[in-house]
């Protein structure tokens, strides 16, 4: 959509007041860095993708706008491929543009001619981009609007006129093949002045009847009378064996040695001298001619400069700023296409309008876990939904039974869906979240001052103050670093406060007694309820499947005891 900053494939307007930044701790807890590294090996692209994903809003229109664009891009691989090629070409033009070397006021004819070639290439890229979007079967409001925006920009910026101008200017400049100079000398053969005689559309060529300069002055009958040129002048290229007297004379005349010794001079220009064969007296010609042509073609140079100033900002800024947004969708489309080939399932999310259900996920799985698996058959899918009766889930289960994986997976579903990306599920319907907050165990070095429980309390209070009814909160073993009695007391009050605020929450905990207190906890609010959620074990083995049912109580203590080898049988060997 168009806004004050131009067109955007991510934002409906320039107003960002409704967006919230995902906290750094949440990015870490959700494993977004792992996802971004799977998408691209370019650190800049990883940071850009993470920036988009972590900039969240509960606005339904924004979520729908993005997901429809992504649906187009993932369904049109040929469009992705061609647009990627054009973006790479534009990036190359931008990185190696001669406009990065100096200002237009100081550059000469050679520099400007290269600028024209770059600008012409840029226009061709824009035309191909427009044609690519016109020919593709795009359906989303975003891409149709982008195509129209490019067309409008093309017309308003007079790109067609620019192409014509460049073509005409190139025609005027391209016939220059040689120049004829006149040099006045004194009695000691010292140059006292130099003037331009003509600019020619044909190069001088060496022939059998051409004499060199020494021959010309050795015979008096070859010295012209007066200074009017009758065309009887000869050309002889300076050979290496002839020495450097002529080139040294020209160097002094135009101050060439000063140019070559200036550290800020264009590196490519200096390289024409550095890379020349030692002793080749023709190596100074590009600079010399550039100076001559600048003087002789002052009006043409001015016309070239005016043309560039007229179009440069439009050509470089308006289209280029959209490239990262397009790349964001392309990288995800390529990634998901690859994951589908591995056997993993993805679907287009559906934004819910007014409904009693605020999320319903069917056969969803944790994408961060999936990218580490070698076989899609290893993934375990689950169903889950949020509504009035299931606002806060008390998730219990055996140690290493998948509680953290499920909790993290739900957070990733919201982040991906609101970024417009297909999600790892067979179906996902949801009301967008204004932000996803996480409260996972902190590193020990962050708990030295307050102690573990103090740090957890301070952090939870801060998160709670930020949460709204549109937020998602994921708690992982919160308040479990103290005694059971203390942790249970704080957990009960925290759950009641979350119910009062209607915050969609998954509370992953070993305090199964919380499930037994649901009647008391639910008395705090009529608009939202807490419900039990249990990771199942089948025959003592983890199934990683979840069910909406009360916990199995102290049976989980047996699992923990077995893990650490402290059952009676394991301790005594009986």
Give the three-class secondary structure for 357.
Answer: strand
The Cα 254–Cα 193 span in angstroms is 11
Same domain, 236 and 364: no
Same domain, 283 and 373: no
| Tokens representing residue 238 in the block | 């300076």
What stretch of H or E contains 86?
helix 77-95
The number of folded domains in the chain is 2
What stretch of H or E contains 200?
strand 191-200
Q: Spell out where 45-186 has E strands.
A: 55-56, 178-185
Same domain, 353 and 283: no
Residue with token string 């957890």: 456
DSSP letter for 59, please: -
pLDDT, residue 239, reads 41
Q: Spell out where 265-375 has E strands.
A: 350-351, 357-364
Same domain, 551 and 412: yes
Q: Is residue 274 part of a domain?
A: yes
Same domain, 264 and 402: no
pLDDT, residue 142, reads 96
Same domain, 409 and 271: no
3-state helix, strand, coil in the chain (%, to 5): 50, 15, 35
The Cα 509–Cα 517 span in angstroms is 14
Residue after which a domain boundary falls, among 297, 312, 328: 297
- pLDDT average per 10 residues of sequence, the chain (574 residues): 71 90 94 96 95 95 97 96 90 66 54 73 86 95 94 79 74 71 76 71 58 46 50 43 44 40 39 37 51 58 64 67 94 97 96 88 96 92 95 87 92 97 98 96 58 85 94 92 81 92 94 87 90 77 74 57 68 70
Q: Is residue 271 part of a domain?
A: yes
CATH code where residue 397 lies: 3.40.50.300
Cβ distance 361 to 410 under 8 Å?
yes
What stretch of H or E contains 327?
helix 323-341
Q: Is residue 74 part of a domain?
A: no
Residue after which a domain boundary falls, among 264, 281, 297: 297
| Tokens representing residue 349 in the block | 């999310």
CA angle 130, 135, 141 (to 5 degrees): 70
Residue after which a domain boundary falls, among 257, 272, 297: 297
pLDDT, residue 155, reads 81
pLDDT, residue 217, reads 46
Strands 472-476 and 504-508: parallel
Q: Is residue 444 part of a domain?
A: yes
| Tokens representing residue 348 in the block | 């287009």
Same domain, 407 and 481: yes
Same domain, 371 and 443: yes
Q: Is residue 230 part of a domain?
A: yes
Task: Give the domain range for residue 542.
Answer: 346-572
Q: Is residue 61 part of a domain?
A: no
Same domain, 272 and 361: no
Q: Is 521 exposed, middle or buried (0-12, 13-18, 19+ CB in 10 A)?
A: buried
What global pTM score does this model have?
0.75
Same domain, 436 and 493: yes
Cβ distance 475 to 394 under 8 Å?
no
The b/e string for 365-395 (b: 16+ C-beta within 10 A; e otherwise) is: bbbbbbbeeeeeeebbbbbbebbeebbbbbb
Query: Per residue in 444-473, pLDDT tens?
Result: 555 445 577 888 889 999 999 999 999 999
- Residue in 326, 269, 276, 280 with CA at minimum distance from that of residue 110: 269
Q: Is residue 416 part of a domain?
A: yes
The Cα 358–Cα 428 span in angstroms is 11
Same domain, 280 and 358: no
Same domain, 230 and 373: no
Q: Is residue 227 part of a domain?
A: yes
């Amino acid at each position: 959509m168009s806004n004050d900053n131009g067109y955007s494939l991510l934002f409906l307007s320039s107003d960002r007041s409704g967006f919230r930044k995902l906290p750094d701790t949440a990015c870490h807890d959700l494993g977004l860095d792992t996802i971004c590294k799977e998408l691209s090996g370019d650190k800049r692209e990883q940071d850009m993708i993470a920036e988009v994903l972590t900039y969240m809003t509960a606005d339904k229109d924004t979520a729908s706008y993005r997901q429809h664009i992504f649906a187009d891009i993932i369904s049109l691989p040929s469009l992705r491929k061609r647009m990627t090629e054009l973006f790479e070409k534009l990036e190359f033009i931008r990185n190696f543009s001669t406009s990065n070397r100096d200002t237009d006021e100081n550059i000469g004819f050679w520099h400007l001619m290269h600028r024209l070639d770059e600008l012409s290439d840029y226009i061709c890229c824009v035309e191909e981009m427009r044609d690519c979007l016109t020919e593709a079967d795009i359906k989303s409001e975003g891409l149709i609007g982008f195509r129209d925006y490019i067309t409008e920009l093309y017309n308003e910026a007079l790109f067609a006129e620019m192409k014509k101008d460049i073509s005409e200017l190139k025609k005027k400049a391209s016939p220059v093949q040689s120049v004829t100079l006149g040099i006045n000398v004194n009695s000691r053969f010292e140059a006292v002045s130099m003037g331009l005689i003509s600019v020619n559309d044909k190069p001088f060529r060496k022939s059998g009847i051409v004499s060199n300069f020494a021959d010309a002055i050795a015979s008096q009958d070859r010295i012209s009378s007066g200074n009017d040129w009758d065309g009887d002048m000869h050309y002889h290229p300076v050979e290496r064996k002839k020495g450097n007297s002529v080139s040294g004379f020209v160097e002094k005349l135009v101050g060439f040695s000063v140019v070559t010794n200036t550290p800020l001079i264009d590196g490519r220009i200096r390289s024409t001298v550095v890379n020349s064969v030692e002793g080749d007296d023709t190596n100074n010609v590009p600079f010399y001619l550039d100076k001559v042509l600048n003087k002789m073609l002052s009006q043409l140079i001015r016309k070239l400069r005016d043309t560039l100033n007229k179009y440069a900002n439009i050509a470089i800024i308006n289209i280029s700023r959209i490239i990262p947004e397009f790349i964001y969708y392309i990288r995800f489309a390529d990634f998901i296409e690859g994951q589908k080939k591995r056997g993993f399932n993805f679907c287009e999310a559906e934004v819910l309008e007014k409904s009693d259900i605020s999320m319903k996920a069917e056969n969803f799985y944790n994408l961060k876990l999936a990218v580490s698996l070698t076989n899609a058959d290893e993934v375990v899918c689950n169903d889950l939904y949020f509504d009035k009766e299931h606002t806060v889930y008390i998730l219990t289960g055996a140690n290493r039974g998948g509680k953290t994986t499920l909790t993290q997976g739900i957070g990733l579903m919201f982040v991906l869906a609101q970024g417009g990306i297909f999600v790892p599920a067979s179906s996902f319907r949801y009301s967008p979240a204004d932000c996803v907050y996480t409260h996972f165990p902190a590193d020990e070095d962050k708990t030295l001052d307050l102690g573990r429980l103090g740090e957890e309390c301070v952090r939870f209070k801060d998160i709670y103050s930020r949460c709204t009814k549109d937020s998602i909160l994921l708690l992982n073993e919160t308040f479990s670093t103290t005694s059971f009695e203390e942790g249970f007391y704080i957990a009960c009050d925290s759950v009641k406060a979350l119910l009062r605020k209607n915050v969609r929450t998954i509370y992953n905990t070993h305090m199964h007694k919380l499930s037994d207190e649901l009647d008391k906890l639910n008395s705090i609010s009529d608009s939202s309820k807490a419900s039990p959620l249990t990771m199942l074990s089948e025959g003592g083995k983890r199934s990683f499947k979840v069910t909406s049912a009360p916990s199995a109580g102290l049976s989980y203590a047996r699992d923990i005891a077995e893990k650490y080898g402290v059952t009676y049988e394991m301790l005594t060997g009986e």
